Amino acid sequence: MAHAEKATEFNKDEAKVNWHDKALWYVREKRDKSAHGVIGWEHLRDVASGIKANVLSNLDNYLIEFEKNAQNNGIKVHWASDAKEHNEIVSKILADNNAKKVVKSKSMLTEECHLNPHLEAQGIEVVDTDLGEYIVQIAKETPSHIVLPAIHKTKEEVDELFQEHLGTEPSGGNPEYLTNEARKHLRNKFLNADAAITGVNFAIAETGGIVVCTNEGNADMGSHLANVHIASMGIEKIIPKEKNLGVFLRLLARSATGQPITTYSSHFNKPAKGKEMHIVIVDNGRTEQLSREDFRASLHCIRCGACMNTCPIYRRSGGHSYDATIPGPIGSILSPGKDLTKHSSLPFASTLCGSCSNVCPVKINIHEQLYKWRQVIVKDVKQPVVKKSILKVAGGVLANRKLYNFSGRMARFMLKYAPRFIVYSKLNAWGKARDLPEVKGQNFDQWYKVKRKK
Amino acid sequence: MKVGLFIPCYVNQLYPQVAIATLELLEKLNVDVYYPSTQTCCGQPLGNSGYEDDSKGACQLFVENFKEYDYIVGPSGSCIYHVKKHFDILEQTPDVIKVRNNAYELCEFITKILGKTDLGAKFPHKVGLHKSCHGLRGLHLGSCSERMDPHFSTEENLLNAVEGLELMSLNRKDECCGFGGTFSVFEEAISVKMGKDRIQDHIDSDVEVITGADHSCLMHLEGLINRQKKPLKVMHIAEILNKSI
Amino acid sequence: MGREAILKSIKENKPTGIPLPEIDLNNFIEDINLLEEFKEKAQVVGGTINELESSETIEDVIKKQYPNAKEIVDCSKKLTSLTSISISEETNPKDLQNIDLAIIQGEFGVAENGAVWISENSFPVRVLPFITNDLVLVLEKEKICQHMHEGFQLISERERTFGVFISGPSKTADIEQCLVVGAQGAMSLSVILI
């Protein structure tokens, strides 16, 4: 289903849309306030964007450097061309360690690879331990936001889910109570896990180390308690030097939630004594995106979610309307690169207002890429005949003054004299909720001819 | 200084009063202004829909119509942005480059090129300014709320100089209205919801008249206001600046 | 299989010659009191600040703040004489599940975000600062830097094993954006400034 249809569905409950919009706008405002507190914010964005551009131009060498340094520190490095390879590598590591119980902290990459169903099919228990991800996991849903995975759920809905899955008392959706119940439940999972899977926020070529950022502490609880830690990362997570973290850690949390930094910024360089640490480096379409000059800057993304919080369409259509692992503006430029036909409506789910590009901490020109994807899509994906022919005809009309005069007059005539039931018929999406402009006696051309004879 | 007046297609056909106000305003400011009669459209509706290639004829015609002028001025940030940004699909001849460099949105032309802000207008009403996205974030007519730059606004400077006009402060200073060209029909539900929310912000802020430098956004908002019979008027900024000058 | 294919594909598809930019730290010069800024930010992120008075000991402050703590791990190297469960690198991390309080010496604090850097040198079992119910970080007042750029300069020569910037207690806002302190990690964080 196209974005517009799902968005229409979401908009049937206007109160919920209002809530969703306000909740995310509030996050955007917290981000503004936090960023205002940093002098040199725009310089930070410039540098961050520049570092990421450099990373792409030297990505192969940085990855080799990273691998070497990580291996020297006793970390095992694996490479996966696609989701299938990634999942097989993870399975093998788990099998080698006889691991049956896995705790996972937030990783959009493992969502992208559909790791959970893959492991579950092999009889492995996988528990998502980020509270938001845990909520969507037990609801058998997908995250609707990359930083706030359960933002589409009301507290009452969470209350019911917890009653069913955790046996909690009805609390009317008391967040403290529910969070504490989840804490108790998940603590048990952490203590009994054989392996922990985490994402990677940054991987440093110079040191071979990785940094994982969380607010809850779940990545650390998982990885330090289990005997095996598997960290999955896309190839674009590399940064050249450790000092570059200064730039990114200042931007990331402020852009994401308005916090000055996440509660925990954990730097993993060596496995703990007697434990194993694995890093899986994943391509899964990223090098293909790298080949597209117009779209490669989408690989700068540090997954802060700021573009979602600021996007007036995302806020009013909900993350699930995008039907993609990464929703919102950034998802709308990443997803078409993976499956152009499936995601062909996403670049059109935008007014091209440009707020996303201006809020992005790594200055991805998101709205310009949306425009460019549109040009690609109408050529490569079959378009509705009506839309296509109307716009093709329009191209001819606008290039020809006589045709333009004629059609302008016709349009004005129709607007003025056609019966209201035709103008506001079902075919007219404009007129469902909006009046059409009132037609004046003459157009400007006619007025000008009479009033300004030069 | 010869100025070519560019009137966007929908303004020509549906909002002649905006075109007239623009022309009169420029004339009163002693600008030597011409209206090339064979102009049609900047091609934006096609480009934004993905049919940029089919818009080349319209873009080329635009260049032909305006290449002889020192400046091209139009009452629409969005169309001017399209000329400046997206005419890169044409071969970059000296004419194309000249047209792209010298195309100006009306307010920016008045403040930057003519160096004027007080135009002697009078408009004793509470006004809410809709900062259209392409003007704001595309042409940088002002600072946008996402960036940590010092505050400025071309339209606010002009409106603040209008006698009797009270510029009202909005809760969301520069959120998109949801027009977005063909977005307004292909994503009808979201487009309408965005427009409704924008209007409510103006109502909550005691606004009597919504204005802006882009009439396409205003057309969308006006359509909603009229349907819902909200107590708001919509006027292009040129109409306000042209009041009793 | 994956490795060579990925590297080859990158080589063929990457842009060329984009230099690594240098940051200009002059953009961030601010006339601020580092200690005051740190104290403010550490509280903004949900932490508690205790500045030691001349008549007080760290122990007094901790006893006052955590009167019920029984299972205590003190890694502060004799800064207190609190009875402590002794742990070493050999300790099974799962054995720390009932710890009430951990005391760890912070290496430095960061004024811009209230974070404190601690590294494995100061706590022999990595899970300790996360699994403990409450966490106390002891920090010398002089050891506060302005921002993260300085912070990374300070740790550039360290022995790299495991280290973490901690800013406040564990928290989440995943249920309707309501902030709840105490998610999976420590329920509270207090920084004692000495």
- Distance from C-alpha of B119 to C-alpha of B240, rounded to nearest angstrom: 10
pLDDT of residue A396: 79
pLDDT of A454 higher than 60: no
Query: Tens digit of pLDDT for each residue in A277-325?
Result: 999 999 999 999 999 999 999 999 999 999 999 999 999 999 999 999 9
For C163, phi and psi rounded to 5 degrees? -155, 160
Give the residue from C113, C119, C153, C174 with the most A CB atoms within 10 Å of its CB, the best one to mutate: C174
Cα(A145)–Cα(A148) distance, integer angstroms: 5
The SS3 call for residue B1 is coil
Domain membership flag for residue C142: yes
Counting the structural domains of chain C, the total is 1
Q: DSSP states of A61-128 as a string?
A: HHHHHHHHHHHHTT-EEEEESSHHHHHHHHHHHHHHTT--EEEE---HHHHHTTHHHHHHTTT-EEEE
Average pLDDT, chain A: 94
Size of interface A-C (CB pairs under 8 A): 262
SS3 labels along B15-55: CHHHHHHHHHHHHHCCCEEECCCCCCCCCHHHHHCCCHHHH
pLDDT higher than 90, residue C84: no
pLDDT of residue A423: 62
Residue C67 lies in a domain: yes
Residue C25 lies in a domain: no
Q: Answer whether A257 sits within 8 Å of C6, measured CB to CB.
A: no
Confidence at residue A268, expressed as pLDDT on a 0 to 100 scale: 98
Q: What are phi and psi of B86, to 5 degrees?
A: -105, 0
H/E stretch holding A391: helix A385-398
Map out the domains of chain A as residue ranges.
1-37+294-382, 38-284, 386-451
Residues B194-227 have pLDDT tens digits of: 999 999 999 999 999 999 999 999 999 999 999 9
Alpha carbons A374 and A352: distance in angstroms, whole number: 11
Q: Do B45 and A371 touch (CB under 8 A)?
A: no
Structural domain for C38, as ranges: 33-193
**Closest by Cα among A319, A422, A308, A412 to A366:** A308
- Does C118 or A418 have the greater pLDDT score? C118
C167 with A266: Cβ contact below 8 A: no
Question: In this model, does residue A391 exceed pLDDT 80?
Answer: no
Residue A346 identity:
L
Q: What is the pLDDT of residues A401-451, one digit of tens each?
A: 887 787 777 677 767 776 666 566 666 788 889 988 888 788 999 999 999
Is B239 at the interface with chain A, CB within 8 A?
Answer: no
Both tokens of A436, joined, read 């059409």
Q: What percentage of chain A has pLDDT greater than the value 90?
A: 85
**Within a domain: residue C18?**
no
Q: Kindly state the average pLDDT of the residues A111-139.
A: 97
CB-based contact, B46 to chain A, within 8 Å = yes
- Summarize the confidence of residues C166-191 as an average pLDDT: 96
Measure A427 CA to nearest chain B CA, in Å: 10
> How far C95 CA lies from chain A's nearest CA (Å)?
9
Q: What pLDDT is stored for residue A150 in this prediction?
A: 97
- In contact, B143 and B153? CB cutoff 8 Å: yes
Evaluate if residue C60 carries a pLDDT over 80.
Answer: yes
pLDDT for A401: 81
For residue B138, give the DSSP letter. I
Q: Chain A within 8 Å of C5 (Cβ-Cβ)?
A: yes
CA A55, distance to chain mean position in Å, is: 21
Average pLDDT over residues C25-49: 97
Q: Which of A183, A221, A281 sits opposite C130 (nearest CB)?
A: A221
Using a pLDDT cut of 70, give the percent of chain A over it. Answer: 96
- Class (C level, CATH) for B126-241: alpha beta
Residue B32 has pLDDT above 90, yes or no: yes
CB contacts under 8 A, A 1-20 vs B, are 3-4, 7-8, 11, 14, 17
Query: Given this model, what pLDDT does residue A409 score?
Result: 74
Return the pLDDT at A419.
63
pLDDT tens column, A61-86: 999 999 999 999 999 999 999 999 99
Q: Is residue C3 part of a domain?
A: no
Q: Quick check: B141 pLDDT over 80?
A: yes
Residue C24 lies in a domain: no
- Identify the pLDDT of residue A392: 77
Tokens found for residue A442: 């003459």
- The domain ranges of chain B are 2-113, 126-241
**By the CB < 8 Å criterion, does A436 face chain B?**
yes
Query: What is the per-residue pLDDT for C177?
Result: 92
CATH of the domain at C38: 3.40.50.10420
- pLDDT score at A166: 96
pLDDT score of A84: 98
Q: What is the pLDDT of residue A384?
A: 77
Given this model, what pLDDT does residue A422 score? 59
- Summarize chain A as % helix, strand, coil (round to 5): 55, 10, 35
Q: What's the pLDDT tens digit per position in A198-235?
A: 999 999 999 999 999 999 999 999 999 999 999 999 99
Quick one: pLDDT at residue A229? 98
C-alpha to C-alpha distance for A64 and A70, rounded to whole angstroms: 10
CA distance A408 to A54: 50
Nearest to A361 by CA among A42, A15, A36, A19: A42
Which numeric CATH code is attached to B2-113? 3.40.50
Whether residue B186 and residue A348 make contact (CB cut-off 8 A), yes or no, is yes
Closest in C1, C149, C165 to A261, CB measured: C165
Q: How far is CA B189 from the centre of its chain?
A: 24
In a domain? residue C80: yes
